[in-house]
């Protein structure tokens, strides 16, 4: 029987996914043509640096947006124009991140400057200088993450464009009310010392002595 590592909790899975969005730069992107012909293409991307949250369609600039660039005539870019639906896969079969997303064409001047700069460094060329190149603004609305069979349950780390997992906010500091603050005039209460309960011991008379003759008699057949 194969032993797997313990399943990650939702907090850890979300953190792992966002780390991979930030640190990984290659993914498989799946689209479908107008006549439902599936296509699969490897594309390099950077994570969006914008201030938006990347929910819904029509931004391509949110923090969760994946931003690859490709030729305008690439079948993947052509498929994005009418349908806007893509699927993105990161990792291998023992560490899966599967993204359902909407996508749109983002022209060369469209992405934020820092996102465009980051992708230019990654590719070794700047798509903004090539009119034949366009960006794809890929905005996730559902993300699944799992490693082994024991992580299939609870694999949805993003649902309907939101991260269900929320990190608990620290409890706000509450200033004690006036009646709760110690008064400088009132002396501190004396410490209470626990007293052990007194136990009275009453002397009892010793049991009557057993005569030797009775002991011998009791031991004889």
Q: Is the pLDDT of residue 190 over 70?
A: no
Residue 112's pLDDT is 82
- Is 38 a residue whose pLDDT tops 90? yes
Residue 214 has pLDDT above 60, yes or no: no
State the pLDDT at residue 177: 62
Report residue 70's pLDDT band, with 50, 70 and 90 as the boundaries.
Answer: very high
Mean pLDDT of the 168-185 span: 58
From 2-6, 34-38, 177-181, 200-204, the region with the lowest mean pLDDT: 200-204
Residues 80/41, Cβ–Cβ less than 8 Å: no
In this prediction, residues 31-46 reach a mean pLDDT of: 93
CB count in 10 Å sphere of residue 211: 9
Q: Nearest 5°: phi and psi at 62?
A: -80, 170
CATH topology of domain 10-158: Pnp Oxidase; Chain A (2.30.110)
Confidence label for 172 from pLDDT (cuts 50, 70 and 90) = low
The answer to whether 50 and 135 are in contact (CB under 8 A) is no
Which residue in 27, 104, 32, 11 sits closest to 62, CA to CA? Answer: 104
What pLDDT score was predicted for residue 149? 92
Q: What are the sequence ranges of the domains in the chain?
A: 10-158
> What integer best gives the mean pLDDT of the chain?
77
- Residue keyed to tokens 């931003």: 67
Neighbours of 32 (CB within 10 A): 15
Average pLDDT of the segment spanning 32-51: 86
N residues, the chain: 221
Question: What contacts 190, CB < 8 A, 6 or more positions away?
Answer: none
Which of the two residues, 176 and 147, has the higher pLDDT score? Answer: 147
Q: So what's the pLDDT on residue 203? A: 46
Question: Which DSSP helix (H) or strand (E) runs through 71?
Answer: strand 66-71
Neighbouring CB atoms inside 10 A of 200's CB total 4
| 36 close to 49: Cβ distance less than 8 angstroms | no
Which pLDDT score is estimated for 12? 94
CA 27 to chain centre: 20
Contact (Cβ atoms closer than 8 angstroms) between residue 107 and residue 58: no
Nearest to 86 by CA among 74, 68, 75, 99: 99
């Amino acid at each position: 029987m194969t032993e797997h590592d313990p399943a990650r909790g939702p907090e850890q899975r979300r953190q792992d996914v966002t780390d991979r969005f930030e640190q990984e730069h290659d993914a498989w992107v799946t689209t479908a043509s107008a006549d439902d012909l599936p296509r699969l293409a490897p594309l390099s991307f950077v994570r969006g640096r914008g201030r938006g949250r990347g929910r819904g369609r029509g931004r391509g600039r949110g923090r969760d947006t994946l931003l690859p660039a490709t030729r305008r005539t690439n079948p993947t870019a052509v498929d994005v124009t009418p349908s806007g639906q893509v699927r993105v896969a990161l990792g291998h079969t023992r560490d899966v991140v599967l993204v359902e997303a909407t996508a749109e064409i983002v022209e060369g001047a469209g992405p934020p400057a820092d996102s465009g700069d980051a992708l230019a460094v990654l590719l070794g060329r700047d798509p903004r200088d090539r009119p034949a190149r366009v960006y794809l603004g890929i905005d996730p609305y559902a993300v699944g993450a799992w490693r082994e069979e024991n992580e299939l349950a609870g694999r949805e780390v993003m649902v309907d464009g939101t991260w269900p997992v929320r990190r608990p906010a620290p409890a706000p500091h509450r200033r004690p009310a006036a009646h709760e603050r110690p008064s400088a005039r009132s002396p501190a209460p004396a410490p209470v010392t626990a007293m052990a309960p007194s136990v009275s011991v009453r002397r009892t008379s010793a049991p009557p002595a057993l005569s030797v003759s009775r002991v011998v008699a009791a031991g004889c057949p």
